Amino acid sequence: MSDALVVAAGTTAADAVAAAGLPSNGPKAIVVVKDPSGRLRDLDWAPAADTEVEPVALDTPDGLNVLRHSTAHVLAQAVQATFPEAKLGIGPFITDGFYYDFDVEKPFQPDDLGKLEKKMQEIVKSGQTFRRREYASLDEAKAELAHEPYKLELVDIKGDVDDSEVMEVGGGELTHYDNIDRKGERVWGDLCRGPHLPSTRLIPAFKLMRSAAAYWRGSEKNPQLQRIYGTAWASRDDLKAYQTRLAEAERRDHRKLGTELDLFSFPDEIGSGLPVFHPKGGVIKREMEDYVRARHIEEGFQYVGTPHISKEGLFHTSGHLPYYKDTMFPPSHMEGADYYLKAMNCPMHNLIYRSRGRSYRELPLRLFEFGSVYRYEKSGVIHGLTRVRGFAQDDSHSYVTAEQAPGEIKHLLNFVLSLLRDFGLDDFYLELSTRDPESDKFIGSDEQWEIATKVLEDVATESGLQLVADPGGAAFYGPKMSVQAKDAIGRTWQMSTIQYDFNQPARFGLEYQAADGTRQEPVMIHSAKFGSIERFLGVLVEHYAGAFPAWLAPVQVVGIPIRDDHGDYLQEFVDRLRKQGIRAEVDHSTDRMQKKIRTAQQQKIPFMAIAGDDDVSGGTVSFRYRDGSQRNNVPLDEAIAHVAEVVRSRTNVGPTA
Q: Which residues are catalytic?
A: 346, 375, 393, 395, 397, 480, 526
Longest dimension (CA), the chain: 94
Distance CA 66, CA 507 (A): 45
Stretch (H or E) spanning 142: helix 138-144
Q: Tell me how far apart the alpha carbons of residues 410 and 416 are, in angstroms, rounded to a whole number.
A: 10
Strand locations in 587-649 (E): 607-611, 620-625, 630-635
d(CA 292, CA 286): 10
Cα–Cα dist 330/390, whole Å: 14
Cα 42 from Cα 14, distance rounded (Å): 8
Q: Long-range contacts of range 601-604, CB-CB < 8 Å, 24 or more positions apart?
A: 601/626, 602/260, 603/261, 603/555, 603/558, 604/261, 604/546, 604/547, 604/548, 604/553
Please, are residues 57 and 20 in contact by the beta-carbon 8 Å criterion? no
Q: Which residues of 145-159 are buried (b: 16+ CB within 10 A; e: fewer)?
A: beebebbbbbbeebe
d(CA 214, CA 227): 6
Helix (H) or strand (E) run with residue 601 in it: helix 593-602
CB atoms within 10 A of CB 95: 9
Q: Is 300 left (phi over 0), alpha (psi -120 to 50) or beta?
A: left
Phi, psi values for residue 496, rounded to 5°: -80, 155
SS (H, E, C) 169-209: HCCCCCEEEEEECCCCCEEEEEECCCCCCCEHHHCCEEEEE
CB 230 within 8 A of CB 71: yes
Q: Omega of the bond prior to 364 within 30 degrees of 0, cis?
A: yes
Q: What share of the chain is helix, strand, coil (3-state, %, to 5)?
A: 35, 25, 35
Whole-angstrom distance, CA of residue 455 vs CA of residue 77: 50
Where would I find the beta strands (DSSP E) of 382-479?
Answer: 390-400, 428-434, 467-471
Please state whether 335 falls in left (phi above 0), alpha (psi between -120 and 50) or beta.
left
Q: CA-to-CA distance for 630 and 554, rounded, in angstroms?
A: 21
What is the rounded distance in angstroms from the CA atom of residue 248 to the CA atom of residue 244? Answer: 6
Report yes or no: 388 and 275 within 8 Å, Cβ to Cβ: yes
Length of the chain in residues, anyone? Answer: 657
